[in-house]
Amino acid sequence: MNKSLEVLTTELVIGGMTCAACAAQIERSLRSFDGVTVTVNYATEQATVTHPAHLDPATLVAEVERAGYTAELRHATRCEEEPLRGLEERLIISASCAAGVFAPAVIPALGVPGWEWVALALTLPIVAYGAWPFHRARTLVSLGILASFGWSLWNLSFAVTAAITLIALTGAYLEARAKRHTGTALRALYDLGPKDATLLRNGEVIHVPADRVTVGDAFLVHPGEKIATDGVVIEGHSAVDASGLTGESIPMEVGAGDRVVGATVNAGGRLMVRATRVGHDSRLAQITRLAEAAQSGKTEVQRLADRVSAIAVPVVLSIAAATLVAWLGLGAPAPDGIGAAIAVLIIACPAALGLAVPTALRAGTGRGAQLGILVKGADTLERARRIDTIVLNKTGTVTEGRMRLASVIAAEGESREEILALAGAVERASEHPIARAIDEAGGSVLPVEEFAALPGRGVEGWVAGKWVLAGRRELLVERWGELPDSLEKALAEAVGTVIVVGWDGLARGVLVIADSVKPTSARAIRNLKALGLSPLLLTGDRASVATRVAAEVGVNFVLAGLLPEGKVEAIRALQRQGRVVAMVGDGVNDAAALAQADLGIATSTDRAIEASDLTLVRGDLRVASDAIRLSRRILTTIRGNLFWAFAYNLVALPLAATGLLSPVVAAATMALSGILVVANSLRLRRFR
Ligand code: ADP
Ligand code: MG
């Protein structure tokens, strides 16, 4: 019945596009199918199509081909060299032929009668073969070349036609070359994937391709080798270099029990690792997907540029025709009028306009990926520009989140060992940093039943026949009434995060947990302030801990003791005051707040990616200010590009129409504007 309820996303690699108008055309033809949404990115030569499951991807490919382009389903490695080599070939052949056409001007002896027929024979391949990419895709340049050629036939002088084509082709070639560089970062990510793995199966060592590892497999990583996939170290001790994946330059020490990420490099001793995530679920796959998504999104400005490109052809044709009519009407000689009309056709091709957004996005988000910054969508950039307030979560964001149990305080008649063992057992099932600290210290092996996590409040479950509750003070008070006086006193005196533990209707102990501020946090907060943002600390932990951390890192505003809903409400309140709010968090109990913020920045790729706009692959808070700076820089670059592309068309068009720009100069300017835009975008690759 509901055959089209299920929706698939298909990625296509598109070939043969030479300006943004092509992308728009392909989008139009694919949208002719019911229920299809599509974005075609001219710079990445990629189409992202969401379509009903009953629509075969092969049909999509066929439709793109019908529109005059090539398409194939995307595989991890793509070959982009081909179109570039094709252009190079056309350029060399056209240049050789053009040399013959220009020869009489340089060597007058060649100006023998009848030479114009040789010149015609040499111009034909230039116009037919050399200019083919323009005939296929850049209507205006193609028309300019053809009109010029027609005029050459009339007066038997071919130099202008040859020159225009050659210049336009050189421009397209240089543009394609530079454009390729904008994508190097993403390609580096594709190449990062480990190739093979050394598996231990049934006591035997076997070598397999890395994609054959399955969850639960144990594999060996020798010094210098890449870790085959995400996993947990089960044996050995080493340092892991993640610089290729996250930009983090300092290797991290790992030992048994620590998590490691696939595609990072084992820089020390031999490790044995048990695979926890493979293939599509791995961190590398996740990062690659995010990096790709950023590049194929479209900003508002891009959509505007696309609309302009789409109406450019009829508008410019009318201007060119009007130019010709005006010149002839004013009694000017035909060659002057025709020259001006041809210059209009060539100059007005919106090639630079089509490159303005995608090349900047590609170079900028690619650079981001190298630095461990993943921008979710192009629209994020606009929001990153407007934020004025930055809300920082405490646990795991400003602090290490690697918590340690500092002390156990038992109520009268209770045993500290029992408190720790029972609390450790329930916490084992939770993924909160607090839980890990308690679990590690408790070393409990007791199983837990009917476990439940109460987000931002605590955990509960059956352990050894007892109903155990561990969490914030309010939780236990709410369930079982006032705490014994001895525990209230311990809570008031304790320095640090405190967890109350109880079972069978009675609070019986307090666990004090210590966390340290990340050494980089204070610096990071200075950087954020330097960007003009006012920082605010937000936490579910109690106020005494929060104010101490805030003072240590230089934050003046603190919102403490909040439940997850309270965090959302706090953000909303700031927004009601007219603030534009960014929030940084790890997603444990703050995913909803991240989503409520105008700009959500997640400091882990595991959680909260859905709710965030920016993901920082590394925990270092300094990357947050880099991410905001980078987003703003990409946006500035896009605006600069658009300005130059538009300004060039606006200034050059009247000059061409009034005959102040010859067709040859028009071709040179057109080529130059495209190259300048790409070069401007490439500056983003040096962002630091
Ligand atoms: P933050 O906002 O600083 O990251 P959370 O909102 O994650 O802190 O947690 C707030 C409080 O909720 C903690 O200080 C703790 O008292 C309680 N809590 C959360 N998760 C747990 C858990 N797994 N076990 C015990 N207490 C918890
Ligand atoms: Mg947190």
Model confidence over 229-264: pLDDT tens digits? Answer: 999 999 999 999 888 887 777 788 898 888 899 999
Q: Which residue has the tokens 């789409």?
A: 310
Residue with the bigger pLDDT between 157 and 337: it is: 337
Task: Report which protein residue has its CA nearest ligand 1's atom 16.
Answer: 472
| Average pLDDT of the segment spanning 178-202 | 81
Quick check: 3 pLDDT over 50?
Answer: no
Do residues 517 and 553 touch, judged by C-beta distance below 8 A? yes
Shortest-distance Cα residue to atom 22 of ligand 1:
458
Give the burial string for 89-116 (b: 16+ CB within 10 Å, else e): ebbeebeebbebbbbbeeeeeeeeeeeb
Distance 437 CA to ligand 1 centre (A): 12
Architecture of domain 193-280: Distorted Sandwich (2.70)
Ligand 1: centre distance to CA 434 (Å): 7
User: Of all protein residues, whose CA lies closest to atom 19 belonging to ligand 1?
Assistant: 456
Q: In angstroms, what is the span from residue 450 Cα to ligand 1's centroid?
A: 20
Measure the CA–CA gap between 117 and 119, rounded to whole angstroms: 5
pTM of the model: 0.76
The answer to which of 42-46, 163-167, 360-364, 426-430 has the lowest mean pLDDT is 42-46
Specify the pLDDT at position 298: 62
Pairwise CA distance, residues 26 & 36, whole Å:
13
If DSSP states are collapsed to H, E and C, what string results for 102-156? HHHHHCHHHCCCCHHHHHHHHHHHHHHHHCHHHHHHCHHHHHHHHHHHHHHHHHC
Give me the pLDDT at residue 194, please: 87
The residues, any chain, with a CB within 8 Å of residue 284's CB and separated by 6 or more, are 189, 192, 193, 245, 261, 262, 263
Q: Does residue 228 have a pLDDT over 80?
A: yes
Give the DSSP letter of residue 216: T
Looking at the CA of 564, name the nearest ligand.
Answer: 1
Counting ligands in written order, which one lies closest to the CA of residue 501?
1
Query: What is the DSSP code (8-state) at residue 377?
Result: -
Q: Are 461 and 430 in contact (CB under 8 A)?
A: no
Residue range 438-496, pLDDT digits in tens: 888 877 778 899 999 998 999 999 999 999 999 999 999 999 999 999 999 999 999 89
Which ligand is closest in space to the CA of residue 498?
A: 1
pLDDT confidence bin for 75, thresholds 50/70/90: very low
Residue in 457, 478, 501, 547 to alter for ligand 1 test, most ligand atoms within 8 A of Cβ:
457
SS3 percent helix, strand, coil of the chain, rounded to 5, is 55, 20, 25
Determine the longest span between alpha carbons in the chain, in angstroms. Answer: 118
Q: Report the SS3 class of residue 430.
A: coil
Tell me which ligand sits closest to the C-alpha of residue 439: 1
The domain defined by 400-516 folds into Calcium-transporting ATPase, cytoplasmic domain N (3.40.1110)
Q: What is the amino acid identity at position 450?
A: E
Ligand 1 atom with the smallest distance to the CA of 564 is 6
User: CB neighbours of 66 closer than 8 A, spacing ≥ 6?
Assistant: 29
Q: Containing H/E element for 230?
A: strand 230-235
Distance 425 CA to ligand 1 centre (A): 17
Strands 534-538 and 558-559 come out as: parallel
Confidence label for 530 from pLDDT (cuts 50, 70 and 90): very high
Q: How far apart are CA 602 and CA 606, in angstroms?
A: 9
CA distance 659 to 666: 11
| Cα-to-centroid distance, 603 and ligand 2 (Å) | 10
Distance 59 CA to ligand 2 centre (A): 47
Separation CA 209–CA 230 (nearest Å): 15
Helices (H), 67-114: 81-106
Q: Is the CB of 470 under 6 A from ligand 1?
A: yes
Q: Are 126 and 161 in contact (CB under 8 A)?
A: yes
Beta-strand relationship, 271-277 and 230-235: antiparallel
Is 47 within 8 Å of 72 (Cβ atoms)? no
Look-up of token digits 């020159």: 163
The tokens for 595 are 């989503």
Let me know if 230 is exposed, middle or buried by CB neighbors in 10 A (0-12, 13-18, 19+): buried
**Whole-number percent of the chain with pLDDT over 90:** 43
What tens digit of pLDDT does each residue of 336-393 get?
A: 899 999 999 888 877 777 788 888 888 898 899 888 898 877 788 888 989 999 999 9
How far, in Å, CA of 228 to CA of 206, rounded? Answer: 13
* Ligand 1 pocket: which of 427, 472, 518 to mutate (most atoms within 8 A of CB): 472
Q: Is 385 exposed, middle or buried (0-12, 13-18, 19+ CB in 10 A)?
A: middle
Cβ–ligand 1 distance for 399 under 6 Å, the answer: no
**DSSP string of 548-612, one letter each residue:** HHHHHHT---EE-S--HHHHHHHHHHHHHTT--EEEEE-STTTHHHHHHSSEEEES-SSSSTTT-
Domain 373-398+518-617, architecture per CATH: 3-Layer(aba) Sandwich (3.40)
Q: Is the CB of 434 under 6 A from ligand 1?
A: yes
Contact 60, 12 (CB under 8 A): yes
d(CA 526, CA 6): 48
Residue 76 in this model has a pLDDT that exceeds 60: no
DSSP per-residue letters across 667-687: HHHHHHHHHHHHHHHHGGGG-
H/E segment holding residue 437: helix 433-442
CB 612 within 8 A of CB 376: yes
**Overall fold of domain 7-73:** Alpha-Beta Plaits (3.30.70)
The better pLDDT of the pair 521, 607 is held by 521
Ligand 1 pocket member 395 (CB < 6 A): yes
Taking CA atoms only, the protein residue closest to ligand 1 atom 13 is 541
CA 496 to chain centre: 38
Which among 628, 615, 193 has a CA at the least distance from the CA of 383?
Answer: 628
H/E element, 354: helix 351-371
Locate the domains of the chain by residue range.
7-73, 85-181, 193-280, 297-372+627-687, 373-398+518-617, 400-516
Burial category of 302 from C-beta neighbours within 10 Å (exposed 0-12, middle 13-18, buried 19 and up): buried
Measured from the CB, is residue 457 less than 6 Å from ligand 1?
Answer: yes
618 lines ligand 1 (CB under 6 A): no
Contact present, 671 and 167 (Cβ < 8 Å): yes
- Pocket residue to mutate for ligand 1, from 408, 500, 589, 604, most atoms within 8 A of Cβ: 589
C-alpha 456 to ligand 1 mean position (Å):
5
Least confidently predicted of 5-9, 192-196, 422-426, 497-501? 5-9
